[in-house]
């Protein structure tokens, strides 16, 4: 009888899970207890504001507490104890995407949710659960319209940090296969769905009272700072998304404008026109009704609710003769969830059919020597990489092929 080394036994045991895929659906998350405002803001300042604003890190804790006072006043007193529906809607999105994926793949696919700023669903907490359940293949899926340092960049940053912390000595890393779903700003079916929702809302509520040429449409994207320390800020993708939706609408409704939901910061240049200015411009051109449609967000949050309510309230006081319609995000609309599942179907197929690749620290040092024989191991220890293997990105994702949001600090 031949003894099998323990490391080989572990490898054989791990292979049993190779036909399963964990889909990590990632969003921002929002505060549900007012007591969490300061902690939430401090995390957001560290991960978001530091990418574009020259704020020294020592000021983050006191600044976060100061911002929490403003948040509490706005949410509690100005908006009658507002509680964000974001997290509950995101759970509906997770459940719906999983339902559509499991209709094809069964139990081989499970969808998990992670929030950038909200325990107990922080990325490292959810990845620990995925690892504990024996998954070895991971699909990283930020449910965010555009790729930027403020959206998916933060998601990947947190995933990489969590994965780097789960190396176990010289043992193979638990993760053996990875795919990534990039932004869906250019997915034709997403663009069609947005335009169709706007058209349906106008037909149902405005068509009998307002001429098409007097029906203004503000398509709202997430505001972006123009300079973000060299990082991609999402402006290009957001503009392309707007152009595509506008192209669908403008032949019937000529008064269409982009509107950026900015978080104006001193000394920082933000995208223009902001939503208020966009609305005023359309009214100057003769709009007697205005539709505000969020296109750069797929999950309702305090920005699409409270910020837009503030803007509409301000506009109403100046122009009470105009009709204002505030539309919801796409949220857990089943048409959207079916599309969102379809976009990753090919990536899941790739992962299920792929032989896993074992990664460990020892291989990393050997690879460094092979690439750069003069490189010393001592120096290698100072470089921080995530340490997991990325398979080559597939450009043909089953039937759905595709080419190829900065968040508010409260």
CATH code assigned at 104: 3.40.50.1400
Residues 239 and 286 in one domain: yes
Q: Which domain holds residue 170?
A: 9-184+338-380
In a domain, 385, yes or no: no
pLDDT score, position 372: 67
Residues 82 and 112 in one domain: yes
In a domain, 264, yes or no: yes
Does residue 216 contact residue 289 with C-beta atoms inside 8 Å?
Answer: yes
Residues 280 and 305 in one domain: yes
Residues 265 and 316 in one domain: yes
In a domain, 213, yes or no: yes
Q: What percent of the chain clears pLDDT 70, i.e. is strictly above it?
A: 78
In a domain, 212, yes or no: yes
pLDDT score, position 366: 61
Local confidence band at 371 (pLDDT 50, 70, 90 cut-offs): low
In a domain, 410, yes or no: no
Residues 342 and 289 in one domain: no
Residues 202 and 308 in one domain: yes
Local confidence band at 306 (pLDDT 50, 70, 90 cut-offs): very high
Q: Apex CA 154: angle with CA 388 and CA 348, to 5°?
A: 50
| Mean pLDDT, all residues of the chain | 83
What's the average model confidence in pLDDT over 202-221? 97
Q: Which of 295, 326, 357 lies at the terminal end of a domain, its last residue?
A: 326
DSSP of 307-359: IHHHHHHHHHHH-TTSEEEEPPP-TT-HHHHHHHHHHTHHHHHHHHTSPP---
pLDDT score, position 267: 73
Cα–Cα distance measured from residue 378 to residue 135, given in angstroms and rounded to the nearest whole number:
33
According to DSSP, residue 253 is labeled: -
- Span 36-80, pLDDT tens digits: 777 877 777 666 666 666 677 777 777 777 777 777 778 777 777
Give 86's Cβ-side CA count (13 Å radius): 28
- Span 353-369, pLDDT tens digits: 877 676 776 666 666 66
Question: Token pair 């969590």 is at which residue?
Answer: 162
In a domain, 399, yes or no: no
Contacts of 198 (CB under 8 A, 6+ apart): 217, 245, 249, 291, 293, 327
Local confidence band at 410 (pLDDT 50, 70, 90 cut-offs): very low
**What are 142's strand-pairing partners?**
26
pLDDT score, position 18: 60
pLDDT score, position 3: 47
- Between residues 395 and 331, the one the model is more confident about: 331
In a domain, 387, yes or no: no
- C-alpha distances (whole Å) from 359 to each of 6, 88, 155, 168 are 18, 36, 22, 11
Smallest CA-to-CA distance from 185 within 222, 140, 151, 144 is with 144
- C-alpha distances (whole Å) from 105 to each of 24, 102, 126 are 16, 5, 22
- C-alpha distances (whole Å) from 299 to each of 78, 85, 91, 98, 154 are 23, 9, 10, 17, 17
Give 64's Cβ-side CA count (13 Å radius): 22
Q: What percent of the chain clears pLDDT 90, i.e. is strictly above it?
A: 57
- Whether the per-residue pLDDT at 388 is higher than 70: the answer is no
- Domains: count for the chain: 2
Cα–Cα distance measured from residue 228 to residue 233, given in angstroms and rounded to the nearest whole number:
6
pLDDT score, position 375: 55
Strand ranges of the sheet holding 21-27, from the earlier edge strand across to the other edge = 109-115, 21-27, 137-142, 177-180
Residues 156 and 276 in one domain: no
Residues 253 and 299 in one domain: yes
Cα–Cα distance measured from residue 220 to residue 308, given in angstroms and rounded to the nearest whole number:
10
pLDDT score, position 102: 97
In a domain, 151, yes or no: yes
Smallest CA-to-CA distance from 135 within 107, 116, 156 is with 107
What's the average model confidence in pLDDT over 332-339? 97
- Whether the per-residue pLDDT at 252 is higher than 80: the answer is yes
- Span 145-156, pLDDT tens digits: 998 887 888 899
Residues 97 and 232 in one domain: no
The least confident of 130-134, 166-170, 187-191 is: 166-170
Alpha carbon 42 to its chain's center:
19
Q: Where are the alpha helices (DSSP H) in 113-229?
A: 123-132, 152-164, 188-205
Residues 140 and 197 in one domain: no
pLDDT score, position 60: 72
Does residue 139 contact residue 23 with C-beta atoms inside 8 Å?
Answer: yes
Residues 168 and 206 in one domain: no
- Whether the per-residue pLDDT at 108 is higher than 60: the answer is yes
Residues 178 and 192 in one domain: no
pLDDT score, position 50: 66
């Amino acid at each position: 009888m031949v003894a099998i080394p323990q490391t080989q036994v572990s490898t054989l045991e791990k292979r049993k899970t190779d036909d399963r895929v964990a889909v990590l659906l990632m969003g921002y998350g929002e505060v549900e207890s007012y007591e969490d405002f300061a902690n939430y803001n401090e995390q957001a300042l560290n991960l978001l504001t530091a990418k574009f604003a020259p704020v020294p890190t020592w000021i983050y804790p006191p600044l976060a507490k100061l911002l929490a006072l403003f948040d509490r006043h706005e949410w509690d007193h100005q908006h009658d104890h507002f509680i964000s529906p974001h997290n509950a809607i995101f759970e509906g999105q997770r459940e719906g995407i999983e339902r559509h994926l499991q209709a094809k793949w069964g139990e081989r696919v499970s969808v998990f949710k992670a929030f950038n700023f909200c325990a107990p669903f922080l990325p490292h907490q959810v990845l620990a659960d995925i690892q504990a359940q024996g998954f070895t293949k991971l699909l990283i899926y930020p449910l965010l319209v555009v790729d930027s340092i403020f959206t998916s960049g933060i998601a990947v940053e947190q995933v990489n940090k969590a994965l780097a912390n789960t190396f176990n000595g010289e043992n193979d890393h638990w993760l053996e296969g990875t795919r990534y779903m990039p932004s869906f700003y250019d997915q034709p079916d997403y663009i069609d769905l947005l335009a169709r929702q706007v058209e349906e809302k106008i037909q149902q509520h405005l068509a009998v009272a307002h001429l098409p040429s007097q029906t203004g449409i503000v398509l709202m994207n997430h505001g972006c700072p123009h300079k973000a320390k060299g990082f991609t800020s999402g402006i290009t993708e957001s503009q392309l998304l707007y152009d595509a939706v506008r192209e669908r609408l403008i032949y019937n409704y000529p008064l269409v404008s982009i509107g950026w939901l900015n978080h104006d910061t001193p000394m920082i240049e933000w995208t223009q026109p902001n939503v208020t200015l966009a609305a005023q411009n359309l009214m100057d051109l003769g709009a007697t009704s205005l539709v505000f449609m969020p296109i750069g967000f797929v999950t309702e949050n305090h920005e699409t609710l409270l910020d837009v309510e503030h803007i509409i309230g301000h506009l109403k006081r100046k122009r009470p003769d105009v009709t204002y319609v505030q539309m919801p995000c796409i949220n857990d609309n089943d048409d959207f969830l079916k599309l969102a599942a379809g976009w990753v179907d090919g990536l899941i197929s790739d992962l299920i059919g792929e032989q896993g690749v074992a990664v460990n620290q020892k291989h990393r040092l050997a690879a460094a020597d092979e690439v750069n024989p003069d490189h010393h191991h001592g120096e290698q220890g100072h470089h921080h990489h995530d340490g997991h293997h990325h398979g080559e990105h597939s450009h043909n994702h089953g039937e759905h092929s595709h080419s190829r949001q900065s968040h508010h600090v409260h």
